[in-house]
Amino acid sequence: MITTAAPAKLSHNEVIKDANPTLAGTIASTLADARADRFSEDDGQFLKFHGIYQQDDRDARKVAKHYMFMVRGRLPGGVVPASQYLVFDHLAEAYGNNTLRITSRQGFQFHGVVKSGLGKLMKGINDALSTTLAACGDVNRNVMAPSTPSTSPLVERVLEDARLLCRSLLPKTRAYHQIWVEGQELDLADKSEKDFVDPLYGKTYLPRKFKTAFAIPPLNDVDIFTNCLGFIAITENDALVGYNLTAGGGLGMSHGNSETFPRIADVVGFFSPEHIEAVAKAVLTIHRDWGDRTNRKHARLKYVLEDRGVEWFREEVARRIGFKLESARPFKFTKQGDLFGWHRQFDGNYFLGLYVETGRIKDTASCQLKSALRKIVEQFRTEVRLTPSQNLILANVSQESRDAITSILAGHGISVENQATVIRRASMACPALPTCGLALAESERVLPDILTRIEALLTELGVGDEEIIIRSTGCPNGCARPYMAEIGFVGKSPNKYQLYLGGNESSTRLNRLYKEIVKTEDIVTELRPLIGRYAQERLAGERFGDWCARMLWKENPPAQS
């Protein structure tokens, strides 16, 4: 007897995408309903494609659910013209919580937006010739690129390709423009809308999110190997000759699920710049066609590479682009992170790197960063660039304007020199509580205090001047890329974290789980013997993460609970 296995059951997200390929859902009608303070669960999934996350204030849950929204902008390479920045600053005050948060993918997030202000915020962003479309959702998201104006035009050349891919990999649905710009429902009586299928993504888009980045060696400031799709610039005589393609990176995982794990990307091969769009679309459509649509926890491109292998993937790319990739060209990354203070650009202008604690642009009693930036951008029309480490650059500043900008910052409690300690400048945190619905523990709100305690420990043990890359997230999805850090904290439950150790300065190596649960109050106690050993056993110039890899990994202690 011949039997046929039943087809695997698709995830709920796949079912609703198939039924609503325009991504419109009932968003417009709910938006117009003043009585509703939230959208349906299905519309909440469609909203992500529009750059919006529906959340609630988790600090207020004991009283009642207070629904609100996080809105994320899509800004290729993190470049923000002065006019757009001033609009964002105003919108954050008028419709958000008066802060702007720099994401780990070089975008802006507006937090604390209530439904009555959501439409006005979204229209304001689009009126400023910016967008939130595809900042989230099962599509290619914001394309990352080096943000620091360099000593050569190469950064600007790579930015051109980042912008190209942001445009060419954008979904084509008209629902976004109709809802947020025109303020209308999509007319599904129109056959072209009713039968809409995205020409690149197809009817059901991708199985999960898709992340793309560019990097220019020796600086790995975008954490290139954590992306689904990556392009490593290869140069000769300071001119771009092509890219090494990387694929299959990604850091998200789920606690207690061994089938999910962080993975660094494979280097697949080399190609010349004119093929950038074809190669990008080939990789994206491999994810579209081969990604797991039955289990969203196993749906990222990294699992396609892990399950099928890089050789299969290389052949599939070649089949889709019509030629074989060349062997990867030599390259070397030496570090990641940002430059701070004043630096000269290749064109004779200057840029200023500014440290932003946990990426949150706000005013406090001691530091009025948001007000200072608004005054500077208004007066000098400076371009703003957002870095992958959640800091900020004021770019294209004339030499004559430097002193005045420095003076404005000083008047708002911000020093251009010695902006923060080496530990803080190398740190990152995700927002976590109270806004993120996935957070299991605090991150942004507790990391500054944790760093203060770690800094005191380092000073006590005689290594206070050593940079250690420390990153924290409130859940295992890893938005602040903790699995690449020298010390990574990953939320497990309230006030409890997994402790990861052993990333490196160039961000080319995953760290490893050292201890399953560490309470917030026990972090320094847990680190004391390790850092004490590091102070005594380190080689000349050896960083803490490299010492962990050399000594702790060799000893291979089991994770403890």
User: Is residue 367 annotated as part of the catalytic site, yes or no?
Assistant: no
Q: With 80 as the cut, is the pLDDT of residue 338 above it?
A: yes
User: Is residue 324 annotated as part of the catalytic site, yes or no?
Assistant: no
Q: Which of 69, 16, 23 is nearest to 46 (CA)?
A: 23
Q: pLDDT tens, 150-187?
A: 767 899 999 999 999 999 999 999 999 999 999 988 77
User: Is residue 123 annotated as part of the catalytic site, yes or no?
Assistant: no
Query: Residue 302 and residue 156: Cα distance in Å, rounded?
Result: 29
User: Is-contact 144 78, C-beta < 8 A?
Assistant: yes
Provide the H-helix boundaries in 227-309.
Answer: 276-290, 301-308
Q: Which of 280, 283, 317 is nearest to 300 (CA)?
A: 283
Query: Residue 222 and residue 216: Cα distance in Å, rounded?
Result: 9
- The pLDDT of residue 72 is 98
Contacts within 8 Å (CB) and 24+ apart, 365-374: 366/413, 367/412, 367/413, 367/414, 368/412, 368/413, 368/414, 369/412, 369/414, 370/89, 370/92, 370/98, 370/99, 370/100, 371/412, 372/408, 372/409, 372/411, 372/412, 372/414, 373/85, 373/89, 374/86, 374/89
Q: Which of 353, 88, 71 is nearest to 221 (CA)?
A: 353
Q: Which of 136, 166, 228, 430 is flagged as catalytic?
A: 430
**Cis peptide bond prior to 218, omega within 30° of 0:** yes
Query: Residue 429 and residue 359: Cα distance in Å, rounded?
Result: 8
Domain ranges, ordered by start, for the chain: 9-141+174-194, 142-172+207-336, 341-420, 425-555
pTM: 0.96
Q: What is the signed CA dihedral for 544, 546, 552, 553, rounded to 10 degrees?
A: 150
Q: What is the largest CA-CA distance in the chain?
A: 85
Class of domain 142-172+207-336: alpha beta
Query: Residue 293 and residue 437: Cα distance in Å, rounded?
Result: 23
Q: Which of 74, 105, 208, 211 is flagged as catalytic?
A: 211
C-alpha dist (Å) from residue 362 to 73, 80, 253 = 18, 18, 31
Query: Residue 262 and residue 251: Cα distance in Å, rounded?
Result: 4
User: Is-contact 482 426, C-beta < 8 A?
Assistant: no
User: Is residue 430 annotated as part of the catalytic site, yes or no?
Assistant: yes
CB atoms near residue 84 (< 10 Å):
20
By DSSP bridging, strand 229-236 and strand 239-247 are antiparallel
Q: Which of 118-127, 133-142, 187-196, 531-540 shows the lowest per-residue confidence on average (mean pLDDT)?
A: 187-196
Q: Which of 136, 166, 475, 548 is flagged as catalytic?
A: 475
CATH for the 425-555 domain, from 3.30.413.10, 3.40.50.970, 2.60.40.10, 3.40.50.2300: 3.30.413.10
Q: Does domain 341-420 have CATH number 3.40.50.150?
A: no
Tokens for 165?
């891919």
User: Is-contact 227 220, C-beta < 8 A?
Assistant: no
User: Is residue 308 annotated as part of the catalytic site, yes or no?
Assistant: no
Q: Which of 300, 436, 481, 548 is flagged as catalytic?
A: 436
C-alpha dist (Å) from residue 359 to 274, 350, 412, 479, 533 = 35, 22, 18, 13, 32
User: Is residue 475 annotated as part of the catalytic site, yes or no?
Assistant: yes
Tokens for 297?
């926890």
User: Is residue 436 annotated as part of the catalytic site, yes or no?
Assistant: yes
Query: Residue 227 and residue 210: Cα distance in Å, rounded?
Result: 8
Q: pLDDT tens, 402-461?
A: 999 999 999 999 999 999 999 999 999 999 999 999 999 999 999 999 999 999 999 999
Q: Which of 48, 209, 281, 385 is flagged as catalytic?
A: 209
Q: With 50 as the cut, is the pLDDT of residue 1 above it?
A: no
Q: With 90 as the cut, is the pLDDT of residue 192 above it?
A: no
Class of domain 9-141+174-194: alpha beta
Tokens for 427?
């740190």
Q: Which of 136, 166, 479, 548 is flagged as catalytic?
A: 479
- The pLDDT of residue 4 is 53
Q: pLDDT tens, 238-297?
A: 899 999 999 999 999 999 999 999 999 999 999 999 999 999 999 999 999 999 999 999
Q: What is the mean pLDDT of residues 24-52?
A: 96
In this prediction, residue 8 has a pLDDT band, given cuts at 50, 70 and 90, of: confident
Backbone angles phi, psi at 61, to 5 degrees: -65, -30
User: Is residue 479 annotated as part of the catalytic site, yes or no?
Assistant: yes
Q: pLDDT tens, 462-508?
A: 999 999 999 999 999 999 999 999 999 999 999 999 999 999 999 99
Question: Alpha carbon 512 to chain centroid distance?
Answer: 21
Q: Which of 141, 208, 481, 512 is flagged as catalytic?
A: 141
142-172+207-336 and 425-555 share one CATH topology? yes
